[in-house]
A and B are shown apart, each in its own frame.
Chain A
Amino acid sequence: MVHREAFVAGLYFILMIVLALGAFIITRSSAARLAGTATIHSRPTYHGLLAAMQVFLPMLAILFFGSLLATRFVEQQSLAAMDPALLADELHRGAAYRDIRRFAAGGAVANATDGLKAGAATFAYLNTLTQWAIAGIGLSAGLAGLLFGLRTVTAEFRARNRFERIVAALLLACAGLAVLTTVGIVFSVLFETVHFFQKVSPVDFLFGTHWSPQQAIRADQGGASGSFGIAPLVVGTLLISTIAILVAGPIGLFAAIYMAEYASPKFRAWAKPILEILAGIPTVVLGFFAALTVAPVIREVGTALGLNVASESALAAGLVMGIMIVPFVSSLSDDVITAVPQSLRDGSLGMGATHSETIRRVVLPAALPGIVSAFMLAISRAVGETMIVVMAAGLAANLSFNPLDAVTTFTVQIKTILVGDQEFDSAKTLAAFALGFVLFFFTLTLNVIALAIVRKYREQYD
């Protein structure tokens, strides 16, 4: 089934490209013939390009929006045949629709009801129908575009201007996609978060001190709302991030100072790639290192010192996360330190200050806003980091400030809740989106402030 869908889609794509290419070639040659007899405004190529666009864009739009509409329509129609009692909520609807699709595809479905069979028949029929309908409409739109393109091949037609207007619009759309992504993120987390807050009070969520979403799977378990207090997650996240910043802050800053102020070009040529390697190491690798190498070492050292260290201690995750953000802090700080004008350094050196005095008393204070924002961006990165904590920190939602305890973080909980099968409407699943919402807005706030500071700082010295 999936494969046939993919096949139709692939065919459509190929047709789209063939038609567009054809439109380009035909229209261009037609324009070229015209150019042989008269002076034309736009070069034949532009007539061709315009025609190709007029074929391609409508076909793409029809495929996209058509598929979107068709999916909804087919789902609605196939489920209509089933017992409405079975479709009480989103959860059951989803399950039923999956069964229908599997049955229609020829798969085995345990105790298939008549409704399901009817639904599957409807599904198979409508699915094929809509696919061909999309293909048909798209094809005719493409052909219409081609005809239109051919008709407009005249000497005075400003094909280039029109083509360039389309290109400009496309470029704007590309840039707009970034905004669309943000809007998409906001909506996808906001929507589910609102749902979540219909089930769980925001006060309990924000100020509750107990987190155990597992208990709320079944509706008959009372007091589910008590299990969604994010305080332990906030504490865990901040604990690990703090350790990370305590590691990365001094190392990153001092490394940046050394690289920007002291290092010879030769040393820089060696050291920069090392920091870049560190920056390029995927977090899953660092997570593996944290869980399998650092955590056992910390545990052993702690035990030798007579301390009680959890095997998934916050310290291990925090240390490795700190190492992860060292290159982040150092490269951002390096940039801002380098941006401090040489004249300030000269002024201080000319007073008889030593190099380090100049750095500490003039360069760093001057670069302070930039460094602060670098730290803020680093914190934001630490808070949002997932893999290291997933692999090296635990799931235990302890409300603890002890770095040797196991704690959990926002990202770990989001990952734990959402990986694997989920019921889409349960409070537990929605809680993940609520966590995502908090995470997104926390990091967004940090980023906006930090980037604003950097921007202002750049302007000051540009």
Chain B
Amino acid sequence: MTDAVLTFAQTGPRKVDFFSEEAMARVQKRYRAEARFKAYGLGAVVLAGIFVVILLADIVSKGLPAFFEHRIALTVTLDAAKIDPEGKRDIEVLRAADYQRLIYDGLREEFPGVSDRRDRRKLEGLVSTGSGNDLRTLVLRNPSIIGQKTTLPVLLSDDADLYLKGIGTRVERAVGKGTLDIKQQGKTVELVGSAGAFAAPLADVKARLKRLASATEFELQGLSAAQATANAALEARREDLTARVKDFRQRSGDPASAETLDPATMPSELVEIAGGLVRLTEIAPGRAAGVVLLPLAADATRSDSWHRTTYTTPESNRRITDIEIAWLESLRGRKLTEKGFAWRFFTNGDSREPELAGIRGALIGSALTLAVTLLFCLPIGVGAAVYLEEFAPKNRLTDILEVNINNLAAVPSIVFGLLGLAMFLNFFGLPRSAPLVGGLVLALLVLPTIIIASRAALKAVPPSIKEAALGVGASHQQAIFHHVLPLAMPGIMTGTIIGMAHALGETAPLLMIGMVAFIVDIPQAISDPATVLPVQIYLWSDLPEVAFQAKTAAAIMVLLAFLFVMNGAAILLRRRFEQRW
């Protein structure tokens, strides 16, 4: 000690000049590091926030259209001979009638010119295959309308619906200049006008060719760079591309040469004239040839009032053909189309047809499943929490119990699915795909969450309350069940709601126990085959139809809405009953 003091006395304190330039620069550097560090932190939080916003915006923008559907007001003749040939109004006969056919007939009356078999099929494809069902419901409810003409909203098919929602292609329309001579020859038409009549569409086609040339060249370069080594198939492809580039370049180079429109690469060019619609197949500066989509006035030979219409997406790149667009535009022009809220989305079960598919089955399935989950995990979870918090002796066994529960909370959910499959289905022989089994599996899954939350709630009740109850002669259990547990209830409820929200969003274990079947029927009982909302989302997300993408996103919106409500309720409950002792 003395030694230390001596040393210290000899050397004396080392003086450091904190105000030298060097020191100040050092401090500035340290503060810059401080600012940087803080910015990283803020950046991380903001990044997470941005992600949430992007995710939600993406889902909403994708899903919102699915809440609306397009219908056409169609006049249908309810021909008694077709619906009820015997005239007995027997309900079974009425039910069995082919209402879909009646709707198709009504549709064909709107477009009398459609005679070709393929075109007829296409025309019928505009309306949903479920629209007959709507008509059946209408007739069964009021059989007296049989024999009359009635106008009813008819649901459009998914592709037609998507087109009207603006997802198929953009349509551009411009007034045509000059007078055109019309030469009709069956389905084909030749239009001849002044030298510049078709200059604008031709120029667009040439410009498009130029872009195609560049794009193809780019692809060619990529191909050459990617595969240096020769390969027969690759070589052929390269040659083909080279030839095409050359062709495109040559054609786009000459502004006056006539062009044939290829539906695979070119936007559709159409001409509205004489009450009809012509799709152009060939364009020259002063004349054009095409096929009739909507019939022209039979006697029309010349017209000075015409429009140029362009469907910007090439026909091969969309699911809806030119003629279908023409029909839909015609219907729209006659104010027969209408947009409405798609109640069907909430009242229908699953379907293979996107426009008919709804989430009712999944919602009921989720409700049944969650009911089973709640019924099992709330009493058991609270019981376990009460035991661990109030009755468990402090020994190794209790330790193991605790560690076990904490670990169970971190077991991957799919493993619970394996448990459900091996135990509940194969060992106990419970029914596959049933909410009963799903509920049990989810109950085991959220049990740790509820136990942990309940224990925290019980722990938060001050011991003085229990002591007071014991002091007036209550038994240990009376003290807990009469005093401690009621006070812990808000906390337990909060934990339970959060657990239920977790169960509502859980998918993987339910896949294991067969809740992924395609189920059209709405489940009635916990032993019926059913699916749940997240699984429905998963199923739909896998389907190729574009319309199902929107349905998926819409189902996600419903799911998230439920989750937000549940979590909001939990937060509210916590705020409302939060008690600081």
Question: Could you say which of B55, B386, B429 contacts A71, with CB atoms under 8 Å apart?
Answer: B429
In the complex, the chain B residue whose C-beta lies closest to that of A75 is B429
Q: Is B448 an interface residue (CB 8 A)?
A: yes
Cβ distance A66 to chain B, nearest Cβ, rounded Å: 13
Question: Which residues of chain B are within 8 angstroms of A182 by Cβ–Cβ distance?
Answer: 404, 407-408
A394 to B505, CA, bound (A): 23
Q: Determine the main DSSP class of A at the interface with B.
A: helix
Q: Is A443 an interface residue (CB 8 A)?
A: yes
Q: Is B392 an interface residue (CB 8 A)?
A: yes
A415 to B418, CA, bound (A): 10
Cβ distance A259 to chain B, nearest Cβ, rounded Å: 7
In the complex, the chain A residue whose C-beta lies closest to that of B541 is A288
In the complex, the chain A residue whose C-beta lies closest to that of B36 is A356
Question: Could you say which of A258, A293, A355, A411 contacts B44, with CB atoms under 8 Å apart?
Answer: A258
Q: Is the CB of A185 within 8 A of B415?
A: yes
Q: Is the CB of A289 within 8 A of B507?
A: no
Number of residues in A with C-beta < 8 Å to the partner? 99
Q: Is A326 an interface residue (CB 8 A)?
A: yes
Q: Is the CB of A385 within 8 A of B383?
A: no
Question: Which residues of chain B are within 8 angstroms of A293 by Cβ–Cβ distance?
Answer: 58
- The digit string for B531-563, where 1 denotes a CB below 8 A from any CB of A, is 000110110011000000100110010011001
Which stretch from A160-168, A210-218, A224-232 is at the chain B interface?
A: A160-168
Q: Is A6 an interface residue (CB 8 A)?
A: yes
Q: Is B38 an interface residue (CB 8 A)?
A: yes
Q: Is the CB of B477 within 8 A of A282?
A: no
For the side of the interface on B, what is the size category? 35 or more
Q: Is the CB of B37 within 8 A of A274?
A: no
Q: Is the CB of A327 within 8 A of B48?
A: yes
In the complex, the chain A residue whose C-beta lies closest to that of B406 is A451
Q: Is the CB of B415 within 8 A of A436?
A: yes
In the complex, the chain A residue whose C-beta lies closest to that of B448 is A178
Which stretch from B158-166, B234-242, B264-272, B419-427 is at the chain A interface?
A: B419-427
Question: Could you say which of A284, A380, A448 contacts B505, with CB atoms under 8 Å apart?
Answer: A284
Q: Is A440 an interface residue (CB 8 A)?
A: yes
Scoring B419, B426, B534, B560 by chain A CB atoms within 10 A of each residue's CB, the highest score goes to B419
Q: Is B200 an interface residue (CB 8 A)?
A: no
Question: Which residues of chain B are within 8 angstroms of A306 by Cβ–Cβ distance?
Answer: 222, 225
A380 to B413, CA, bound (A): 11
Task: Please report which residues of chain B, range 9-54, place their CB below 8 angstroms from some CB of chain A when the two chains form the complex.
Answer: 30-31, 33-34, 37-38, 40-45, 47-49, 51-52
- The digit string for A90-134, where 1 denotes a CB below 8 A from any CB of B, is 000000000000000000000000000000000000000000000
Task: Please report which residues of chain A, range 424-460, place their CB below 8 angstroms from some CB of chain B when the two chains form the complex.
Answer: 424, 432-433, 436, 439-440, 443-444, 447-448, 451
Cβ distance A459 to chain B, nearest Cβ, rounded Å: 13
Q: Is the CB of A440 within 8 A of B411?
A: yes
A sample of 14 cross-chain residue pairs with beta-carbon separation below 8 angstroms, ordered by A number, consists of A175-B387, A181-B419, A184-B423, A277-B52, A277-B564, A323-B48, A355-B38, A356-B38, A384-B411, A387-B538, A391-B541, A411-B414, A419-B516, A444-B407
List residues of chain B with CB under 8 Å of any chain A CB: 30-31, 33-34, 37-38, 40-45, 47-49, 51-52, 55, 58-59, 62, 222, 225-226, 379-384, 386-388, 391-392, 400-401, 403-408, 410-419, 421-423, 426-429, 431, 444, 447-448, 451, 475-477, 501-502, 504-508, 511-512, 514, 516, 525, 527, 534-535, 537-538, 541-542, 549, 552-553, 556, 559-560, 563-564, 567, 571
